[in-house]
Amino acid sequence: MIYDNRELKKRARQKLVGRYGITAGTLLLCNLIITILFEPIQSMIPGNLSSLRRASSLFSIAAYLVCSIIIVFLGNILLSGYRYLHMNIARERSCSVSNLFYGFNHQPDKVILLILRVLLINLLYMLPCLFISYVVGSLFYTLLGTSIEIFFITAVIIAAIVLIPVNLRYVLIFNLWADYPDLTAREMTQKSREMMQGNRTRYFLLTLSFIGWYLLALLSLGIGLIWIQPYVMMTCTQFYLDLNESPRDTAYWSDERYNG
């Protein structure tokens, strides 16, 4: 059955009653680990641009980039564990803080492959966007004499217009990873794309409906995110479960691996 966004949010709040301790605690732990990992490598980047010419600075920048990429992957594996925790709560299964590390001992390579796939798809869409932005920026610069900043503004606007719908196709990949361990990364992205077909606007409106909550979080200097983030995550999990439990008629879904 397809529920409206209000119903999904209501069900998310229902599921989280009495469980904010574990979700908020896990979120804090996740952020703490990412901060602890990321803090030492911040010192690798040189302070001023003039020092970039030195070979040692270039080496430190390269080391910084490599470490950043590793930490992005580690962070995403942790976040996939956090998503798994929400799946457990939503399905009334037993859950604990250790769910956060689920991704490390259950096919972490698949999580990395999923992230890589989404990153590559983003890059594929990003390159034409950058080219168009460059052309528009150059035109404005030549005809109107505007500053080169127009290039960056155009790039951001075009990237937002193009990349948001693209990324909306892949929002369910980590839920699928938690639910269907037998699928390959390619099949998961394909299935996520199929599930989001015709539901992207609905998901987009669902995420937009949290603007008020984020304004409250802003007023609370970010402290309110401790409770809001689990609520948002649980609502997205409910959205996934709603789609996953809905009757499907495509041949793709008839595969026995999806019904096991």
Partner 1 sequence: MNDFYDNGNAQEGSVKMATAALIVGIAAVLFFRIFYLSIPMAAISIILALLSRGGCVVSLRGKLAIIISSATIIFSASSTAYTIYQIYHDPVLRQQFEMYMEYFERLYSEDDDSSIWEPLPRQEEDAPVLPVEGGEQI
Which of 231, 240, 232 shows the shortest CA–CA distance to 179?
240
Question: CB of 46 within 8 A of CB of 60?
Answer: yes
Residue 159 binds partner 1, judged by CB under 8 A: no
CB of 84 to partner 1, least distance (A): 15
**Position 55: which residue type?**
A
CA dihedral sign, ordered 56, 60, 62, 63: positive
**Position 181: which residue type?**
P
Q: H or E element: which one contains 5?
A: helix 5-16
At 129, list the tokens.
């966007």
Question: CB of 166 within 8 A of CB of 122?
Answer: yes
Cβ proximity to partner 1, 18 vs 198, nearer residue: 18
Distance (Å, whole) CA 10 – CA 120: 36
CB of 76 to partner 1, least distance (A): 25
Cβ proximity to partner 1, 22 vs 77, nearer residue: 22
Residue 91 binds partner 1, judged by CB under 8 A: yes
Cβ proximity to partner 1, 141 vs 213, nearer residue: 213
Question: CB of 100 within 8 A of CB of 30?
Answer: yes
Residue 11 binds partner 1, judged by CB under 8 A: yes
Binding mask 184-223 for partner 1 (x = CB under 8 A): -----------------------------x--xx-xxx-x
CB of 30 to partner 1, least distance (A): 20
Residue 20 binds partner 1, judged by CB under 8 A: yes
Residues that bind partner 1 (CB under 8 A): 10-11, 13-18, 20, 90-92, 213, 216-217, 219-221, 223-224, 227-228, 231, 241, 245
